[in-house]
Amino acid sequence: MVRRAIAVPSLRTVPGYPWFKAAVFALLALNAGIFLSSGTFREGLDSIAWLTLLALFELETSAGHMIPAGPAIVAVHGFRLAALAAVGAAAAGFLYNMEWLDATNSGLWIAVVALLELEVRHPATVTVHRARFITAVVTLYSGLGALVLVWLWRGEWFDAYDAALWLVAFATIEMNVLKAAQRTIVEVRSG
């Protein structure tokens, strides 16, 4: 059996992809501003915390190999921990106020972040349990997609749009993670 590495093209080479990603981030930042100015404190906190988490995941999954070890990586992890604490506080507020749809949304996203952390920090474990991991990811994203439909059904257009935009944003992070995994040597049988 001959083993060789396969070069996988980067999404950065797809025409318009960086602009698409920038547009998604800009729209999410605009949504955060809207939640801060016209929503509840919890909604604003939740939106800013998630935007911070997304930006940190983007940084670490697309350029993490360029972040120097030491204080820089400690700062990234510290900011992520603070953002996670804010997400948790907002989720607790949603539960306390019996805002079940928002609480469910927060719970599903927290589980997605836990899986992303696992995928980024322990790729070997994910590889060993790939089928279970994929089942969990599909289940979580399906649940999040169902929430978009529930918000649409309830006529809460902005919430549905925001939730759909977050799905797109985290899909771009998943693409970064896949690309990072493909930076390692991919073994293929050839005969």
**pTM as predicted:** 0.82
Helix (H, G, I), strand (E, B) or coil at 4: coil
- Residue-wise pLDDT for 2-17, tens only, equals 434 444 455 556 788 8
The contacts of residue 114 (CB under 8 Å, 6+ apart) are: none
Q: For residue 104, is it within any domain?
A: yes
> What is the spatial distance between Cα 177 and Cα 60, in angstroms, rounded to a whole number?
9
> What is the spatial distance between Cα 30 and Cα 141, in angstroms, rounded to a whole number?
23
State the CB neighbour count (10 A cutoff) for residue 3. Answer: 10
Residue 62: domain span: 21-180
Q: For residue 157, is it within any domain?
A: yes
Q: For residue 70, is it within any domain?
A: yes
Q: For residue 159, is it within any domain?
A: yes
- Residue-wise pLDDT for 63-122, tens only, equals 767 777 788 888 888 998 999 999 999 999 999 999 999 999 999 999 999 998 898 888
Domain total in the chain: 1
Q: For residue 4, is it within any domain?
A: no
Q: For residue 188, is it within any domain?
A: no
> Between the CA of residue 30 and those of 19, 79, 166, 173, what are the distances in Å?
16, 21, 13, 19
> What is the spatial distance between Cα 162 and Cα 173, in angstroms, rounded to a whole number?
17
Q: For residue 7, is it within any domain?
A: no
Q: For residue 1, is it within any domain?
A: no
